[in-house]
A and B are shown apart, each in its own frame.
Chain A
Amino acid sequence: MLKKQPEIRDTVHNFIAFDPSEQKVIDSQPFQRLRNIHQLALSYLVYPGASHRRFEHSLGVMELVGRIYDTVTRLDKLTDEIRDVVPQKDSLEDQVSRSLLRLAALCHDLGHLPFSHAAEDELLPEGYDHERMTYEILRCEEMRALWRLMPHKPDPEDIAKIALGPRKLEKLGGDLTFSPWEAILAEMLVGDSFGADRIDYLLRDSIHTGVAYGRFDHHRLIQTLRILPAATTEAGGEQNEAKREPQLGVERGGIESAEGLWLARYFMFSQVYFHPTRLIYDLHLKDFLAAWLEGGQFPVEVNGHLALTDAEVTSAMRSAAKDPGAPGNDSARRILERDHFRVVYQRRPEDSSFEVNAIYRAAEEAFGGKNVRYGGSPKRGDADFPVLDRDGSSIPAISLSSVLANLPVSRDEYVFAPAEQREEIEQWIETERKQIIESAYEAQAAEEDMETDQEGEGT
């Protein structure tokens, strides 16, 4: 009798099934550690329900990416233009690709530091980030032993390529060459448009925070995904679509669900991920960690990394908050007593990021580095994917959808200060703002002129 395939109940996907190779990864120490890494860092201080962990997110991503793979490689979904890019159904390459993709999904967050992204900047040595740590863990002895036990004996370099994708590998300086099929596999997992990582975190975070904006019809979206030749981009461009590299897109009937995903992303970014109170808690946490960690940085050797989770950091914060002489006492106390800094300046519609930063630097100089902090969202990406039109051509989504063409691109940026100094600093910024900005531009131009003069004409 065949052994029953194990399953796990899940908040978002109901049941998640996995095979023996995947179970080996799930049972490993690096994966089990994710049970103690909050998905949304200290967001639970703003949204009490946001106490879910990277563990269930990683399982959800594996489930979703398997569904995406099975949909886009279905024979009725493949057109002649891209058929030769996709391995033949049920071939060894097909099986290996699907297995690699699901393993990569399980492993894509293994390198996260305590409290996820919250404290990553400045707390790792030069050249390290959580993606680099993921890469190191995939190649550590414990994981190598697992890969060797699996039927396809996956190469950790191949898993890393898919788990991190080209954007992260660009930062790591790893293998910077992606074949069209590798690029598609990475897109299914970590792509900006339809990556399973993004689909799962939007849905999961939405449910746990209670912010309904993050929900969208992901079932319909996945059903309409296709591997398509890249869309025509220019008037007079070559019409032979077969020569264009493929990417993940949607059928015309799926464009509304794709719009739903992009709107969900927009709302979740401003309402949850870059909520100003969450941002300032992240900054207090970073200050605490810089004071508490040995040498002010996280360990980067694999065992040291795996030994630290949110549990150890929370325990240390609780101790430090009670002891005025402990390193990081002020930051720990601010987090635990909810005495966080307040917003003294919020980016205005007419501001650029450079100008907000100039205001922050000037306030920092005037009121002291300990009393002023800056926090902001990254810029928002553009919806850049093809749509399969009813006549069989690939069209850029942005030319079909006014929703996607008009998604706001502005960033959220803030300057923070202690509550007791809020009024004073707000007034000072209001008075000095114009002069600060003009001086900052002049200083940058002068610095560049000096550099140009020093370099001379020959470069």
Chain B
Amino acid sequence: MNRLAQEAVLISLTRRLRERGSWAGETHVQKAAYLVRELLNVPLDFTFILYKHGPFSFELRDELGSMQSDRLLTREAQPPPYGPRLETTTRGEELEERFERTMQKYGPRLDWIADRIANCRVLELERLATAIWVTRQHGEDASVQTRAEALHELKPHVPVEVATEAVQEVDFLIADAREQLNA
């Protein structure tokens, strides 16, 4: 996927999250991008590391910043105590329209992820994304308990029982995503 097409996918993802009521701050878009790549093979070319609030990409942060600089996205400051939200622009939506075939291919996958996470808060997204991270590290065959303990070790503020629920939910999402890809 070339860079402009990738930007179009990120605009589309942000728009779909906002349409479904997501706060769509940077963290929401970061986690949505990670999930859509890991679960649905949308080829977003960013390296993720395990950092704040789980898997995080500085490359993606820079890309979102560049897109604001190019007025493809805009950042809406919110009154205290809330963080800013990302919003698409007319210019951004024009770019999305230029990549009609790319959107035909990946649009349903973006809808799928937006449907499932638009209502998730940052802390829920952190747990889900980190549960996928540990599942990738330990393999899908590793027991729920093993992965939940690994998640707790990486994110000590997530209790083991909450980590267990997150891993179980991720197993369900992985199965559901496979069905979506095979549909």
Contacts and interface: CB of A to CB of B under 8 A. Distances in A.
A232 B51 contact: no
B5 A398 contact: no
Interface string B96-139: 00110110010000000000000001110000000000000000
A244 B29 CA distance: 18
B1 interface: yes
Given A177-B154, A399-B77, A445-B98, A379 B62 contact: yes
A437 B108 CA distance: 30
Most B C-beta atoms less than 10 A away, residue of A170, A402, A441? A170
A398 B65 contact: no
Nearest to A444: B4
Contacts, number: 153
Interface in B52-96: 52-53, 56-59, 62, 65-66, 68-72, 75, 77-84
Contacts of B3: 354
Contacts of A405: 77, 84
B43 A233 contact: no
Interface residues of B, number: 55
Contacts of A369: none
B1 A451 contact: yes
Interface in B1-17: 1-5
A448 B66 contact: no
A353 B7 CA distance: 12
A395 interface: yes
B52 A247 contact: yes
Contact of A448 (B5, B23, B52, B62): B5
B67 to A, nearest CB: 9
A411 B65 CA distance: 10
A169 B101 CA distance: 35
Nearest to B95: A441
Contacts of B51: 166, 178, 183
Nearest to A81: B157
A235 B82 contact: yes
A409 B59 CA distance: 17
Nearest to B22: A234
Contact of A235 (B23, B26, B154): B23
Interface string B21-59: 001011110000000000001110001111111001111
A396 B81 contact: yes
A459 interface: yes
A227 interface: no
A177 B49 contact: yes
A50 B71 CA distance: 34
Contact of B101 (A173, A237, A398, A449): A449
Given A448-B1, A452-B105, A233 B122 contact: yes
Contact of A459 (B43, B49, B78, B123): B43
B138 to A, nearest CB: 13
Nearest to A408: B69
Given A244-B157, A389-B81, A398-B84, A170 B121 contact: no
Interface in A130-189: 166-167, 169-171, 173, 176-178, 180, 183
Contacts of B156: 180
Nearest to A387: B80
B83 A398 contact: yes
A76 interface: no
B82 A399 contact: yes
A233 B78 CA distance: 9
A270 B82 CA distance: 30
Nearest to B72: A352
A26 to B, nearest CB: 31
A353 B68 CA distance: 11
A311 interface: no
B91 to A, nearest CB: 8
A7 B46 CA distance: 44
B47 A171 contact: yes
A447 interface: yes
Contacts of B27: 233
Contact of A352 (B5, B70, B82): B70
B81 A170 contact: no
A381 B65 contact: yes
B16 to A, nearest CB: 17
Nearest to A351: B70
Nearest to A447: B2
A255 to B, nearest CB: 12
Contacts of A238: 121, 123
B123 A243 contact: yes
A396 B1 contact: no
Given A234-B83, A244-B157, A399 B47 contact: no
A8 interface: no
A457 interface: yes
A236 interface: yes
A32 to B, nearest CB: 32
Contacts of A243: 123, 157-158
Q: Which are the 9 A-B pairs with shortest beta-carbon distances? A: A233-B83, A352-B70, A234-B23, A176-B49, A405-B77, A396-B83, A448-B5, A395-B81, A459-B41
Interface of B: 1-5, 23, 25-28, 41-43, 47-53, 56-59, 62, 65-66, 68-72, 75, 77-84, 98-99, 101-102, 105, 121-123, 154-158, 181
17 contacts: A170-B47, A171-B47, A173-B47, A178-B50, A233-B27, A234-B121, A238-B123, A242-B157, A354-B3, A379-B62, A398-B83, A399-B82, A399-B84, A402-B77, A445-B4, A448-B1, A448-B101
Given A389-B80, A399-B84, 14 more contacts: A166-B51, A183-B52, A232-B81, A233-B23, A242-B157, A354-B3, A354-B4, A379-B62, A389-B81, A399-B78, A405-B84, A411-B69, A445-B99, A447-B2
